[in-house]
Amino acid sequence: MFSSQSFKDGVKHAFGVPALGLGSSMFAFGAFLHSAGFDIYQSFFSTFFTFALPGQFVMAETILAGGTLLNIFLAVLLTNSRLYPMTVNITPLIRNSNVPKWKQYIGAHFIAVTSWFNFFSVQKNIKEDEKFNYFLGLGGFLWANSVVCTVAGYLFSNLVSHEILIALVFINPMYFLVMTVSNLEEKKIICSILVGAILSIFLNDVFPGWSVLIAGVLAGTLGFFIFRKENNE
C-alpha cells in the first residue's frame, strides 16, 4: 500500500501548501499549549488522537476553565460534528472492497477539512481503485505533519513572537477560504454561500452567538431543496 504510486501521489499533493497551511496553525496550537501549562505528552496526544484543530482548542480551553469530563466531551462533540457530514460525503468515494475494514477505519481518522477539501479538488482525476490509497497518502501525511508541528510549536514557542503566533493560527483558515473561492464553479454552492453570508448578518442581532451556525444550516438546507431536482438529473 505505502509503495503504491497513488499513495505517493497523495503524499506529494499534501507536501507543500496544504501541509504548510495546516502545520502553521498546529505550530501555534502547540505554542498555546505550552503557555497554558500543558506538558509535551498532552500536546502530542491531542493531535495524534484528535486531528481537528477547533476541537483541540475547545478541549484545552474547557480544561483550563475547569470543565468536567462531560463538559469537555459535549463541547468537543459539538465542535467536531462538522466532520460527520464530511465523512459521510467522502467515504463512498474512497471505500474499496479490496481494502480491509481496519485500514478503512484508519483512513477515516485522517478526514479533516484540509484533507477533505484537497481530495475533492482532484478526485475526479483519480481512478476508482486508487482513491483510497491516494487519500491515505494525502490525509496521512497531513496528520503526521500536524503531530510534528504541534510538538515543534510546544518546544520552540519561546523563539517566536506572540504576534507571529497569532498570524500562524489564521494561515490555514485563510488557505481554506481561498481554496473555497477558487473552486466556486457550481451555482448551487455559490448561492448557498451568498445566502449564508447575508443571513448571518441579519441573524447576528437576534442570535449573536449562533448566527453563523444557524445561517449555514438554513442556507445549506435551502440550497439542497432548491437544487434537489438538478442533483437527481
Same-domain check for residues 35 and 105: yes
Same-domain check for residues 190 and 118: no
Same-domain check for residues 41 and 142: yes
Same-domain check for residues 199 and 94: no
Which set of grid coordinates corresponds to residue 231?
442533483
CA distances from 14 to 27, 44, 59, 142, 218 (A): 17, 21, 26, 6, 33
Residue type, 169: V
Short-list 55, 53, 50, CA closest to 173: 53
Same-domain check for residues 188 and 169: no
Same-domain check for residues 66 and 158: yes
Same-domain check for residues 103 and 211: no
The pLDDT assigned to 206 comes to 86
Same-domain check for residues 197 and 166: no
Q: Looking at residue 4, what DSSP letter applies?
A: S
What's the start-to-end Cα distance of the chain, in Å?
A: 37
The pLDDT assigned to 184 comes to 57
| pTM of the predicted model as reported, rounded to 2 decimal places | 0.80
Same-domain check for residues 108 and 222: no
Q: How many domains does the chain have?
A: 2
- For every residue of 152-181, DSSP letters joined together read HHHHSGGGS-HHHHHHHHTHHHHHHHHHHH
Same-domain check for residues 119 and 208: no
Which set of grid coordinates corresponds to residue 102?
481496519
Same-domain check for residues 105 and 218: no
Same-domain check for residues 170 and 69: yes
Per-residue pLDDT tens digits of the chain, which is 233 residues long: 555 889 999 999 999 888 988 888 899 899 999 988 999 999 999 999 988 888 898 899 899 888 888 988 888 888 888 888 888 888 888 887 788 888 888 888 999 888 988 898 888 889 888 999 999 999 999 999 999 999 999 999 888 777 777 777 777 677 766 666 666 556 667 777 788 888 888 888 888 888 888 888 888 888 778 776 655 55
Could you list the residue range(s) of the whole structural domain that residue 194 is in?
A: 184-232
**Helix, strand, coil percentages in the chain from 3-state DSSP, rounded to 5:** 80, 0, 20
CA distances from 191 to 46, 195, 204, 221, 222 (A): 37, 6, 20, 12, 10
- Helix/strand/coil (H/E/C) assignment for every residue in 52-111: CHHHHHHHHHHHHCCCCHHHHHHHHHHHHHHHHHHHHHHHHHHCCCCCCHHHHHHHHHCC
